[in-house]
Chain A
Amino acid sequence: MRFPRNKRRPPGLVNAAVRYSKPRLATFWHYAKVEFVPPTSAEIPIAIQSLKKIVNSAQTGSFKQLTVKEAVLNGLVATEVWMWFYIGEIIGKRSIVGYIMFEDQSLISDYI
């Protein structure tokens, strides 16, 4: 009968994980370098211009000329931007669900 040798298993797992994630990390980085970077100081005036355009379209009523598809896409983008607020809140309160006031309050204490 053959038994798996525990000494050999962990390095294999780590190697497999590294081999799996390396190309995927590369593609992620390839896109993130362009899409996830914060705005440079040169882009801020452009952003303010776009904001003024949006406010203008709200004032003049020209937003009613948008197609439903465009409006839905804009809604999705706005929702995504707003989700970053909640991600920030998670970072600020240092807990994923809820505010942890005492050490025995979170469920993590059940496992430690």
Chain B
Amino acid sequence: MVPPVQVSPLIKLGRYSALVLGVAYGAKRYSYLKPRAEEERRVAAEEKKRQDELKRIERERAEAQDDSILK
């Protein structure tokens, strides 16, 4: 078998510091994005509720207009 390569210390240092930096970056960004995503979902749900309400009123109004003895 080929003997294992002696990796230069700079490369080793670079690899593991990049790994640690990546974990820190990922965790930080996750904690930054999570409340924003929840807020956006809450706002979207409220908006949807309002739209559903308006549509319901519109539909009932249309039905009321349509009502006639000739149906």
Which of A81, A82, A88, A91 neighbours the largest number of chain B CB atoms within 10 Å of its CB? A88
Knowing A81-B11, A85-B19, A90-B26 are in contact, say whether A99-B4 is a contact too (CB < 8 A): no
Q: Which of B28-36, B50-58, B63-71 contacts A (4 or more CB under 8 A)?
A: B28-36
Contact of B5 among A27, A30, A35, A92 (CB under 8 A): A35
CB <8 Å contact, B37 and A102: yes
CB <8 Å contact, B9 and A92: no
Measured between beta carbons, the chain A residues less than 8 angstroms from B13 are 39, 43-44, 47
Main secondary structure of the interface of B (DSSP, over half): helix
Contact of B10 among A50, A85, A90, A91 (CB under 8 A): A50
Binary contact readout A99-112 vs B (1 if CB under 8 angstroms, 0 otherwise) = 10110000000000
- From A45, which residue of chain B is reached at the shortest CB distance? B9
Residue B27 CB within 8 A of the other chain? yes
Contact of A34 among B4, B10, B14, B30 (CB under 8 A): B4
CB <8 Å contact, A101 and B37: yes
CB <8 Å contact, B26 and A38: no
Within the complex, the shortest CB–CB distance from B54 to chain A, in Å, comes to 26
Interface of chain A residues 18 through 60 with chain B (CB within 8 A) = 27, 30-31, 33-35, 37-39, 43-44, 46-47, 50-51, 54
Instruction: Other than A33-B4, A34-B6, give 7 A-B pairs with Cβ distance below 8 A.
Output: A30-B4, A39-B16, A43-B13, A82-B18, A91-B23, A91-B26, A99-B29
